[in-house]
């Protein structure tokens, strides 16, 4: 019973917020995804990074450990995804980013936050930032077939991370006005992203069920296995181990769909993967949480 | 003291500033959606979350509400007489003199000045002010009484639900508390950003009259706040909240109604912009006065 209450406290906010988004789309209320994405990426996310690292005093060692663990995960995801897609003769530009980049923002951040508080959020943000950088460089390059660094330079999150690293290295205590402002604006990120996720899910359709299910299962099981293995291999302590596992095992990120659409790489198929992997993930989340709690 | 004042003002200036810059840069902004997200989703959740999280005695909550009813009534009486003496249309100018920006500006101000306790009292004021705006305010502009609009506002239902928890002195389950806390995070930043956007878009007509009426709104509000806080024997946080809320500039809603019913929208717009600008400039002094106790 105790565990059920604890699980509900973590999973319910994610379900309900995404559900609000779904309902929003179903009743046909206005939802301008561009404005929300723009607010989240240009204002909210950088502020959330600044606010969290101003409050949680993460050590340089912990930051480095999480960065290495995250980079290893993404590198192994890329290797496995490339091999499987090659072996099954599927399009690499279309499917590889979706297999590589999990939903570490909209779903990973609230789950880690409600499961482990601000400490968990700080570590989850490190993994998330690596994923964002990866999505906008490697992911976009794979989908586009060429390297474009333009996206990256325009991402304010990059500058926020640079500033956060300086805060950590200099052990600076930020003034209250700074913490208040960034906390307020950072508060947009999780609810807005989850509602936007729900709205997108309402619009997505599954084109080829079998392939989408197969690739979704690959994303989730690979994520889980690699996340677990990295925790073991690096002998991570309990909290970073849990965060690596949770973030790695998230479903296909919605940003993959946006790039697939932009570069016309089978967007309908990618949409199916997003929808199916997210649905499976909603059911698996309680079990995943039982493992790490 | 300076750091305390900065901690209160910076979030408000910066958030509204982001909205203002957003509007000036003509970046896509969907006011309908943002208002919907803020007022129908964010603020109701923020209200529920704040009121159930704290041990706010229902009597103190009711006393603040009572004091603000007195503030509104006194504003109404003085405003009516002043407009009659000046020979101005009271259908157009009375609501903007009476109804202050207790949401967009008042809520964050009281939160950062007095913490969650301040926010809880500020919500009490906001409820009275919203009910007044949608009944007396709206019917003054419209020239007829239409209380139905009020029933569509989720505010009343949420407050009623929160009062059940407050009076029964029980806590909501963790899943509900977490969900409303996270969605409530949308309320204040979204409101402030849309305030900024509104400021950048509203055009001012007839500077002189708008300036005079703005000064009346702010001066009368401050004086009434001080007198009524004293008359009700309020001290500490409750006193601070009543004074701050009473001295807020003209609410943006007034402009929307004036536009809808064609009651001098240009001049009411001028009151919104000018009183907000003056208020921003005088806020440090007001806070210094209130924080001194």
Nearest C-alpha in B relative to A184: B189
Give domain status of residue B262, yes or no.
Answer: yes
SS (H, E, C) chain A: CHHHHHHHHHHHHHHHHHHHHHHHHHCCCCCCHHHHHHHHHHHHHHHHHHHHHHHCCCCHHHHHHHHHHHHHHHHHHHHHHHHHHHHCCCCHHHHHHHHHCECHHHHHHHHHHHHHHHHHHHHHHHHHHHHHHHHHHHHHHHHHCCCCCHHHHCCHHHHHHHHHHHHHHHCCCCCHHHHHHHHHHHCCHHHHHHHHHHHHHHHCCCCCHHHHHHHHHHHHHHHHHHHHHHHHHCCCCHHHHHHHHHHHCCCECHHHHHHHHHCCCCHHHHHHHHHHHHHHHHHHHHHHHHHHC
CATH class of the domain defined by A9-22+32-292: mainly alpha
Residues near B177 by Cβ (< 8 Å), separated by ≥ 6? A9, B49, B52, B53, B171
Give domain status of residue B1, yes or no.
Answer: no
Using a cut of 0.80, tell me whether the model's pTM lies above it: yes
Question: Cβ–Cβ of B189/A187 closer than 8 Å?
Answer: yes
Which CATH number characterizes residue B191's domain? Answer: 1.20.1530.20
Question: Cβ–Cβ of A177/B3 closer than 8 Å?
Answer: yes
Nearest C-alpha in A relative to B8: A177
Give domain status of residue B22, yes or no.
Answer: no
Question: Cβ–Cβ of B11/A176 closer than 8 Å?
Answer: no
pLDDT tens, residue by residue, B29-46: 988 899 889 988 999 999
| Residue of A11, A188, A197, A198 to mutate, testing the B interface (most B Cβ within 10 Å of its Cβ) | A188
Question: Does position A280 have pLDDT exceeding 90, yes or no?
Answer: yes
Question: Does position A27 have pLDDT exceeding 70, yes or no?
Answer: yes
- Which residue from B108, B112, B185 is facing A191, i.e. has the nearest CB? B185
Question: Does position A150 have pLDDT exceeding 80, yes or no?
Answer: no
Segment (H or E) for B161: helix B154-168
List the domain boundaries for chain A.
9-22+32-292
Question: Cβ–Cβ of B174/A9 closer than 8 Å?
Answer: yes
Tell me how close the Cα of B46 comes to any Cα of chain A, in angstroms.
Answer: 12
Mean pLDDT of A17-25: 94
The pLDDT value recorded for residue B120 is: 95
Token digits of residue A244: 């690596």
Question: Cβ–Cβ of A13/B29 closer than 8 Å?
Answer: no
Among chain A, residues having any CB pair with chain B shorter than 8 Å are: 5-6, 8-13, 16-17, 20, 29-32, 34-36, 38-39, 43, 110, 114, 175-178, 180-181, 184-185, 187-188, 190-192, 195
ipTM value for the complex: 0.89
The residue segments making up the domain with residue B185 are 30-292
Q: Which residues of A touch B177 (CB under 8 A)?
A: 9
The pLDDT value recorded for residue A1 is: 60
Look up tokens 């806020």; give the residue.
B283
Give the count of domains, chain B. Answer: 1
């Amino acid at each position: 019973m105790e565990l059920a209450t604890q699980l509900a406290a973590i999973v319910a906010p994610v379900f309900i917020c995404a559900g609000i988004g779904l309902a929003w789309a179903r009743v046909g209320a206005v939802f301008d995804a561009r404005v929300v994405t723009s607010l989240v990426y240009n204002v909210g996310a950088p502020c959330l990074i600044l606010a969290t690292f101003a409050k949680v005093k993460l050590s340089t060692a912990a930051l480095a450990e999480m960065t290495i663990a995250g980079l290893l995960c993404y590198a192994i995801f890329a290797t496995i995804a490339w091999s499987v897609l090659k072996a099954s003769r599927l399009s690499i530009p279309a499917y590889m980013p979706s297999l590589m980049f999990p939903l570490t923002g909209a779903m990973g951040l609230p789950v880690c936050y409600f499961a482990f508080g601000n400490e968990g959020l700080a570590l989850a943000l490190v993994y998330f930032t690596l994923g964002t950088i990866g999505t906008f460089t490697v992911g976009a390059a794979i989908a586009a077939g060429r390297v474009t660094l333009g996206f990256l330079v325009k991402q304010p999150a990059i500058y926020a991370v640079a500033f956060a690293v300086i805060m950590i290295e200099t052990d600076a205590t930020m003034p209250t006005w700074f913490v208040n402002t960034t906390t307020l604006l950072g508060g947009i990120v999780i609810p807005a992203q989850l509602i936007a996720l729900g709205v997108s899910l309402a619009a997505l359709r599954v084109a080829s069920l079998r392939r989408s299910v197969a690739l979704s299962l690959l994303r989730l099981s690979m994520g889980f296995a690699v996340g677990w293995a990295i925790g073991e291999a690096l002998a991570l302590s309990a909290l970073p181990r849990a965060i690596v596992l949770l973030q790695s095992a998230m479903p296909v990120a919605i940003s993959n769909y946006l790039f697939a659409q932009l570069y016309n790489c089978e967007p309908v198929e990618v949409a199916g993967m997003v929808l199916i992997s997210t649905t499976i993930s909603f059911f698996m989340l309680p079990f995943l949480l039982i493992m790490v709690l | 003291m300076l750091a305390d004042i900065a901690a209160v003002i910076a979030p408000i200036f910066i958030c509204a500033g982001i909205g203002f810059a957003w509007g000036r840069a003509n970046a896509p902004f969907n006011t309908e959606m943002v208002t919907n997200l803020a007022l129908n989703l964010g603020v109701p959740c923020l209200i529920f979350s704040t009121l159930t999280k704290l041990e706010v005695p229902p009597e103190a909550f009711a006393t603040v509400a009572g004091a603000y009813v007195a503030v509104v009534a006194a504003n109404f009486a003085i405003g009516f007489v002043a407009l009659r003496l000046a020979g101005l249309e009271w259908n157009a100018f009375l609501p903007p003199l009476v109804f202050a920006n207790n949401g967009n500006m008042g809520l964050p101000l009281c939160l950062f000045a007095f913490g969650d306790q301040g926010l809880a009292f500020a919500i009490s004021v906001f409820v009275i002010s919203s009910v007044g705006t949608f009944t007396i305010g709206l019917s003054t502009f419209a020239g007829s009484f239409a209380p139905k609009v009020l029933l569509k506002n989720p505010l009343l239902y949420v407050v009623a639900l929160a009062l059940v928890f407050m009076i029964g002195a029980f806590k909501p389950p963790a899943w509900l508390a977490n969900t409303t806390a996270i969605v409530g995070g949308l309320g204040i930043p979204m409101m402030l950003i849309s305030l900024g956007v509104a400021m950048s878009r509203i055009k001012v007509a007839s500077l002189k009259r708008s300036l005079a009426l703005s000064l009346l709104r702010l001066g009368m509000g401050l004086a009434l706040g001080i007198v009524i806080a004293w008359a009700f024997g309020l001290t500490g946080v409750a006193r601070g909240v009543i004074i701050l809320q009473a001295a807020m500039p003209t609410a943006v809603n007034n402009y929307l109604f004036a536009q809808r019913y064609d009651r001098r929208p240009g001049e009411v717009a001028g009151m919104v912009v000018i009183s907000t600008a003056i208020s921003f400039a005088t806020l440090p002094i007001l806070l210094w006065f209130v924080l001194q106790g």
